[in-house]
Structure 1
Amino acid sequence: MSGRQVMANLSAKLDSVLSIDEIEKTGVLAATSQLHQRAQEIRQQRVNWQSYLQSQMVSQEDFQLITQYESATGGEQRHQLLDKYGEQCAHMFNSLLNNISKDQTIQYILCIIDDMILEDRTRVELFKEYSKKKKQSVWYTFLNLLNRNDPFIQNMTALIIAKIACWTTSEPIEGSDLNLFLTWLRDQLKLSNNEYIQSIARCMQMMLQNDRYRDVFVGIDGITAIVQVLSGRINFQIQYQLAFCLWILTFNEPLATRMNKYNAIPVLADVLSEAVKEKVTRMALATFRNLIEKPTDTEITRDNAITMVQCKVLKQLEILQQSGQKFDDPDIKEDIDYLTEKLLASVQDLSSFDEYATEVKSGRLEWSPVHSSDKFWRENAGRLNEKNYELLKILVRLLETSKDPLVLSVAAHDLGEYVRHYARGKVYVVFLGQGSFYVLINV
């Protein structure tokens, strides 16, 4: 499938999803988000522009324009003002952001800018056109604000950057500016107890709809960050937003092919089993479907399906079917039927070694029958050496890094069985473990 076809397919799917979630369709943060609540409070405040004028921190021209803009009482008046003084307004906002240091005033200016471009998306071009004439980067002022200590300033700025980057019809954000912004989003996502995580996730939802931005995000290991956060304790809104990001990424065939290397399937399986909102269920199922549909390598598709079975997705599909629940989105029923058919087909062809390999790759070891079967180990111990000792390396790594007592006991047992049934097994395990005490003590 060509890149253009992929984008057309993604666009159609997005329209379907966003038509259900009106709040996402409009690009507005949920009314319960910390950023939205704080912005509502800031909008009620007023800045004493006269004092800034008297202290010569703003020019006479900027003073007249900002007071005129504030006095516009409706959308039509603002439209007329921006139609006449659009370039001057872009200059004025840049000037205010660069020359004023007080946090409360910067917060207020950012809220005005966000309201302005939210009212009419084409207004993002005002900043682009102004910067082009001045031969300077449109991103410079905004990216600098990400370094401020005030969390609201940082996150409102990030939202504005994302909107300009995604709504522009001209030059997108690229190069070091793009890398800096996406790296900032990734790091903020991983920040513990970040009260603005919903806003960060919203920026990512917007940015990852662009194929160019997706590639850079993957290059800075952004998928790992998403999966790590999804695996923790988060509310359903963040679950939805981050699952949405993974779903968007899986429309890219190479990414869909590699997605399970990030442990995405086990984590999404947990999200699906815990889902309390339909939109979370929808995103998990839609992502699973893409992981079956999009890869062109049949072995990858099969491995993904087997991993889903191993992570009890098939059981969860059965629960959803038997619940008799009526879904608002017809795609959910279609995805359930599709996945059930594909996963059942994968089970029919599943050998005991396939099942074992999938369990090891998932990192979620448990005492399934194959672990204690002498017949299994006699026939398959040597197969742990396949693909450059892939499974053996995973077992050694789990023994070295896992904190789960069950995983540790099963991994230790399996390495012991490998050594017992494979002549040179101990040599390979010791070599791969590089002298690790936890490995040596079990061989």
Structure 2
Amino acid sequence: MICFVSRLFTGSALSPVHNDTREKYSAKLVFGSMEPAELTTEQVLRRDIPWETYMTTKLISGTGLQLLRRYDKKSESYRAQLLDDDGLSYVRVFVSILRDIFKEETVEYVLALIDEMLTANPKRARLFHDNSLADEDTYEPFLSNWFIQEKSCKILALIVSARPKSQDGPVSNGEASNSKRKSTTIDDVLKGLVEWLCAQLKNPSHPGRGIPVAVNCLAALLKEPLVRSSFVQADGVKLLTPLISPASTQQSIQLLYETCLCVWLLSFYEPAIEYLATTRTLPRLIEVVKSSTKEKVVRVVVLTLRNLLPKGTFAAHMIDLGLPQIVQSLKAQAWSDEDLLEALNQLEEGLKDNIKRLSSFDKYKQEVLLGHLDWSPMHKDPLFWRDNINNFEENDFQILRVLITILDTSSDSRALAVACFDLSQFIQHHPAGRIIVTDLKAKERVMKLMNHENAEVTKNSLLCIQRLFLGAKYASFLQV
């Protein structure tokens, strides 16, 4: 059943259509006319659908007809009351119509009803997961080749997001164990959605609504681990970056907010963070937070920056881009959101800590590169090594290579002792320290200093060798 998904979301269901006419035909499929920009939900809901005819042809039941007569064309408050009283019955009717009726105008109409129902109260999406629908495939009606992509994508995103966590297994919708009919799997639904959403971000089928609809759905779906994984694999992260730019109109502000919300959700996923580090996402986020006055936009960007701060080299880049000063400026403004104020304080403290660490490492780096090694406090400070150990990886372990060169070339006993000590500290604190130092051919150089005339050099060279051999002995012990 789910074999439809990939070809329908990617548009290959239109393959019999000549390439020159495919785009026009696709527009008609999505929006119901050759001029999609003119068709709105309000226009669709003004249609009169011949429900009685469908009952005569047995496409809907008598009970279904009664429910539709009570619901259709009624006021919003009256429909809300009907849904509160018997929402499950209406979900059954809507799903059965989408499954059994193929007339485009009717499909558009029912999708508009469902969209209206869920937009008014997204919690109603839980109705699609009621236990009484265990034998119903409530995803599949939105995945057939006649569905209206925009509405179906939005509705699917809401329904999937509202599903109980117990449905995280291979089969969605709580399929009964004795069911003979294969149900649409949640993995296939999500992967199909991601493919379609990425396609919209790359080449929207509607110039005005394609990208906003895709971003809106992603903002609802990226809390799902599978969606994050599929989105990263589809190279979707870089598609969001161009959308992060200062906005002025209400529509563009909403798109910016939802785009930043997507990035915030991705900032909880390590593979996505690696992708973000290779794009211009960070400078764009900082430019937005610097110029935006919309509180919800500032909040989601600040929360994202707070998440990224301890990752990789983001902190150094943030400092280079002037974020500490921007945070101070933001704190001086009158924000009402307590979460935003707390996040600003945390971001400020985190930046201050990183400035201190970077400053101390810069001092250390300068000391090493000049060859003027001395027992300054940072050498024997465990916090310095713990907080800066990854900085030693810069420029293909440049600092380590210089330390090893000092062992070969320096005649200063103090510099030799400190260099040996620093190598021992690196071995102790870096997960692969022993292997890296060994690969850099440091062991032979350190061993030569074990017979040095200076006791301080002898002591620290011995310490370094002990840590090298201790690591090797421990490794061989684990292999036994």
Work out the percentage of aligned pairs sharing the same amino acid: 23
Q: Tell me, what secondary structure is at the counterpart of 2:293?
A: coil
Q: How does 1:153-302 map onto structure 2 within 5 Å? A: 153-169=148-164, 170-172=166-168, 174-191=186-203, 193-230=207-244, 235-252=252-269, 255-256=272-273, 259-293=276-310, 295=311, 300=312
Q: CA RMSD in A?
A: 3.8
Question: How far apart are residue 271 of structure 1 and its match?
Answer: 1.9
Look up the SS of the partner of 1:276 in the other structure.
coil
Deviation at 1:353, TM superposition (A): 12
Aligned to 1:67: 69
Alpha-carbon distance, 1:306 to partner: 0.9
Verify the 8 A CA contact 1:285 1:336 in the aligned structure 2.
yes
Give the TM-score of the pair, scaled to structure 2: 0.54
**Alpha-carbon offset, residue 338 of structure 1:** 3.0
Q: Is the 8 A contact 2:95 2:138 kept in 1?
A: no
Q: For residue 328 of structure 1, give the secondary structure of its aligned residue in structure 2.
A: coil
Matches within 5 A, 1:331-370: 331-348=339-356, 349=358
Letter matched to residue 195 of structure 1: R
Give unpaired runs (5+ residues) of structure 2. 1-35, 173-185, 366-392, 399-480
Q: What is the CA distance between 1:287 and its match in structure 2?
A: 0.5
Distance in 2, matches of 1:229 and 1:265, equals 13
* Alpha-carbon offset, residue 129 of structure 1: 5.0
- 5+ residue gaps, structure 1, are 1-33, 356-382, 389-443
CA contact (8 A) 2:246 2:291 kept: no
Alignment of 1:372-383 (within 5 A): none
Q: Does 1:46 pair with 2:48?
A: yes
- Superposed CA deviations along residues 7-35 of structure 1, whole A, max 9, x for unmatched, are xxxxxxxxxxxxxxxxxxxxxxxxxxx99
Q: Which moved more, 1:309-318 or 1:71-80?
A: 71-80
1:325 maps onto 2:333 in alignment: yes
Q: In the superposition, relative to structure 1, how do residues 384 and 168 fare at CA in structure 2: closer, same or farther (>3 Å)?
A: closer
Bigger CA radius of gyration: 2
Distance in structure 1 (CA, Å) of the matches to 2:246 and 2:144: 31
Q: Distance in 1 between matches of 2:330 and 2:299?
A: 12
Instruction: Output aligned runs, 1:112-123, within 5 Å.
Output: 112-117=113-118, 119=121, 121=123
Q: Structure 1 residue 79: deviation in Å?
A: 4.1
Normalised to the residue count of structure 1, the TM-score between the two structures is 0.58
Cα gap change, 1:288/1:113 in structure 2, threshold over 3 Å: closer, same or farther? same
Q: Amino acid of the residue matched to residue 163 of structure 1?
A: L
CA contact (8 A) 2:245 2:256 kept: no
CA contact (8 A) 2:237 2:275 kept: no
Counterpart in the other structure of 2:443: none
Deviations 1:124-155 (CA, angstroms, capped at 9, x unpaired): 44466576425xx432220226x65xxxx322
Partner residue of 2:410?
none
TM superposition shift of 1:246: 1.1
Q: Distance in 1 between matches of 2:318 and 2:108?
A: 46
Contact 1:69 1:78 in 2 (8 A): no
Shift in CA distance, 185/326, structure 1 to aligned 2, threshold 3 Å: same
Distance change (3 Å), C-alpha of 1:44 and 1:268: same
Q: Say if 1:275 and 1:281, in contact at 8 Å, map to a contact too.
A: yes
The alignment partner of 2:191 has SS state of: helix
Retained in 2: the 8 A contact 1:90–1:130? no
Shift of the 195–141 alpha-carbon distance from structure 1 to 2, 3 Å rule, reads same
Matched, 1:386 2:396: yes
8 Å contact from structure 1 (residues 128, 138) kept in 2:
no
